[in-house]
Amino acid sequence: MESTLLLIAATSSLALMPCCMRRCGPGAARALHALRARSPALMSTSSNRGRYVDSLDEAALALRSGGLVAFPTETVYGLGAHAFDEDAVARIFATKGRPRTDPLIVHVAAAAEAERLVRLGPAGLELMRGLAAEFWPGPLTIVAPAVAELPPAVTAGSGFVGVRCPAHAPARALLRAAAVPVAAPSANRFGHVSPTSAEHVMADLGAHPILVLRAAPGEAPCGVGIESTVVKVDEAGGALVLLRRGGVPEAALARWLTGGRAPFSLRAPPAP
């Protein structure tokens, strides 16, 4: 979830609006501050250092309360925050040492939630729904014009949002329990290797007050082991633009698009 997202920053970006935060503005902000006041213990660990957790409910409550939670997906571990909590999002950048010009991918529990984040015409929305039906849950991030309510810190001010629904069942369970959109780049210092275990996360970010959700016994997180493929819906240009190669092969996207998805075609940079 790292360096090649700088490609997206020029043209695109990332987030999601949950039902509980649709009333953006002072009322929503007051509700969030009230939740934080009721749950101060979740805003930091006892020693202001990283702490392992095993409970999805504890991790979900921390996300709702403005905390940072590292959690496993089928690609790599992500460092998550409530996407509509600008303070929490700012702590992602500070914890990772990540440039503010690099947008964040927002994770959703189901495809229908992603549609509430984007502004697409009928053709673009049909393409997005087709991609979600074919490749979600899975390692594909879809970028499209963002709704106006999305905080600019998440999108790097680009006006675009990228969302994905992870294939890792416990990750989706966490998203459902949190009931908020979760902005999450990889859970490592910027420029370091993306982590595939809780121990990797703690070794890199354990000096910061985050929670690190451990995989349950017998679970196999991060089986893909690389970041998601990122594509942008270019409705005006009639193209699906490949911004980053990753867990979904380019050939699979090309095959899918040849099955009557006109007027869209795949536009990709030269292979490295």
Q: For 103-125, how does the pLDDT look when each residue is reduced to its tens digit (9 = 90+)?
A: 999 999 999 999 988 999 999 99
**Local confidence band at 11 (pLDDT 50, 70, 90 cut-offs):** very low
Q: Give the DSSP letter string of the chain.
A: --TTHHHHHTT-------GGG-STTHHHHHHHHHHHHH-GGGGS-TTSS-EEE--HHHHHHHHHTT--EEE--SSS-EEEEETT-HHHHHHHHHHHT--TTS---EE-SSHHHHHTTB---HHHHHHHHHHHHHH-SSSEEEEEEBPTTS-HHHHTTSSEEEEE--S-HHHHHHHHHHTS-EE--BSS-TTSPPP-SHHHHHHHHTTSS-EEEPPPTT----SS-SPPEEEEEETTTTEEEEEE--SS-HHHHHHHHTTT-TT-EEE-PPP-
Least trusted range by pLDDT, from 15-19, 28-32, 122-126, 233-237: 15-19
pLDDT digits (tens, 9 = 90+) for 43-68: 444 468 999 999 999 999 999 999 99
164 has which bridge partners? 107
Yes or no: say if 103 and 14 are a contact pair by the CB < 8 Å rule. yes
Q: Given this model, what pLDDT does residue 141 score?
A: 98
**Local confidence band at 205 (pLDDT 50, 70, 90 cut-offs):** very high
Q: What's the mean pLDDT when you consider all of the chain?
A: 85
Q: Please, which residues have CB within 8 angstroms of residue 268's CB and are 6 or more apart in sequence?
A: 241, 242, 250
- Could you tell me how many residues make up the chain? 272
Strands 78-82, 69-71: pairing is antiparallel
Q: Given this model, what pLDDT does residue 148 score?
A: 87
Residue found under tokens 């074919």: 134
Residue 162 has φ and ψ, to the nearest 5°, of -120, 130
Q: How far apart are CA 112 and CA 128, in angstroms?
A: 11
Distances (CA, A) of 231 to 84, 167, 250: 23, 17, 10
Yes or no: say if 4 and 243 are a contact pair by the CB < 8 Å rule. yes
Asked whether the predicted pLDDT for residue 158 surpasses 70, the reply is yes
Nearest to 201 by CA among 215, 219, 216, 187: 187
**Local confidence band at 16 (pLDDT 50, 70, 90 cut-offs):** very low
Two tokens at 223?
């089986």
Yes or no: say if 98 and 92 are a contact pair by the CB < 8 Å rule. yes
